[in-house]
Amino acid sequence: MTAQQPLVTVIIASYNHGPYIEQCILSVVQQTYPHIELLVIDDGSSDDSVLRIERLREQYGFDFRVQKNQGLTHTLNDAVARSKGSLIAPFGSDDVMLPERIAKQVAYMQDKPEVGICAGNIELIDSQGGLYSEDRQRRDIAFRRLDFDDVFMERKSYPPAPTLLFRKQALEQVGGFDPEIRLEDLLIELKITHAGYYIDCLGEVLAQYRKHGANSSKNTPFMVDSILRSYALFKEHPQYEFVRTRFLSSMFLKCANRDRSYARQLLKQIPFRHWNKKTWRGLARLYFAPLERRS
C-alpha cells in the first residue's frame, strides 16, 4: 500500500444485531475507497447474526471470526492487534457508513500526523432505516478541532462514535481500549488527546447512527458508571470535580421523572455547593412532574 493510499482496517464487533448487520457490512464493502481490510467478529450472538454474516462473507471474502462473548473492548483490542491497516475504524454493527466516508477521512488525514482521530457528523435513523428529519443539529455541526480540555470539559461537540477513524500508532501509544470500561468512546478520546493528538471533526455527515431499543445508551446506569470511571482516571485535572458534578446533574435531570429511585442515587453524589440549574430543574421534575412512562 502506498503512502498516498493507506490500508484502512474496519472492525465490526457484532452482538445480536441480526436485523441490522447485513446493511452495516454492505455499507463497508461498498465504500468508494478501495483499500479496506474488514474484520468482523461475532461476540457470542444468540440470534441469527452468524448465518447472515456467513452469507455475506462467502460473497465478499472478508475476515470473519466467531467467539464466545468477551465484550466490546476486549474484542476491539484483539482485532487491532491483528489488523494490518495504519488507520482503524471500529464500527457499530447496527450503524451505516455513507459511501464516501472512508475516502474523505483518509484524504483529510494525509499529511496531518498531529490528528490522532478524524470524525464527522451523523444523521439518525430508526430501526427501519428511516431518517429522523427533525434532528438536524447532529448533521450541521461545523468543523472543529478538539484537544484534551475540549473533550474533558465538553467545550465543543463530541465526535460521534460511528465516524471515528484512528491512527493505529495513536491507539497503540495509549495502550488501546481499556477492558475494564466497556463504554469505550469517551475514554479512548481522552487518552489519545491527553497523549498530545487532536481530534478533527469534519463538518459533513459521514455515517448513520441507528436508534433502537437495544442501544447501550439506553442503559443509563451502565453509561453513567462508565463515564464517571473514565473521568476519574484524570482526577488530577483542576476541573475534575466540576466536570464530574456537571455530568451528574445532567443525568439527574434526565432521570428525575423517568427513574426516580436512580435519580435519588445520583443526587446523593452531587455536593450542594456544586448544584446548578440542571440540579434544581431535576428537583422540580423529581417531586412535581408526572412520571414518564418509557416504552
Task: Give yes or no: residues 185 and 124 share one domain.
Answer: yes
Number of folded domains that form the chain: 2
Task: Give yes or no: residues 174 and 100 share one domain.
Answer: yes
Task: Give yes or no: residues 137 and 246 share one domain.
Answer: no
Q: What is the largest CA-CA distance in the chain?
A: 63
Task: Give yes or no: residues 75 and 141 share one domain.
Answer: yes
Mean pLDDT of 20-43: 97
Task: Give yes or no: residues 256 and 187 share one domain.
Answer: no
Alpha carbon distance 133, 127 (integer Å): 14
Domain that holds residue 283: 238-288
230 occurs within a structural domain: no
Burial class (CB in 10 A: 0-12, 13-18, 19+), 259: middle
Which ranges constitute the DSSP H helices of 7-161? Answer: 18-29, 49-60, 72-82, 101-109, 148-152
> Looking at residue 84, what is its pLDDT?
98
> Looking at residue 218, what is its pLDDT?
62
In this predicted model, what pLDDT tens digit does every residue of 72-92 receive, in sequence order?
999 999 999 999 999 999 999
1 occurs within a structural domain: no
In this predicted model, what pLDDT tens digit does every residue of 190-211 receive, in sequence order?
999 999 999 999 999 999 999 8
> Looking at residue 133, what is its pLDDT?
64
46 occurs within a structural domain: yes
How many angstroms from the chain centroid is the CA of residue 45?
20
Task: Give yes or no: residues 19 and 150 share one domain.
Answer: yes
Show which of 190, 210, 230 is a domain's final residue.
Answer: 210
Burial class (CB in 10 A: 0-12, 13-18, 19+), 133: exposed
Alpha carbon distance 50, 17 (integer Å): 10
**Residue 37 belongs to a domain with what CATH number?**
3.90.550.10
Task: Give yes or no: residues 37 and 168 share one domain.
Answer: yes
- β-pairing, 87-92 vs 8-14, is parallel
> Bridge partners of 25?
none
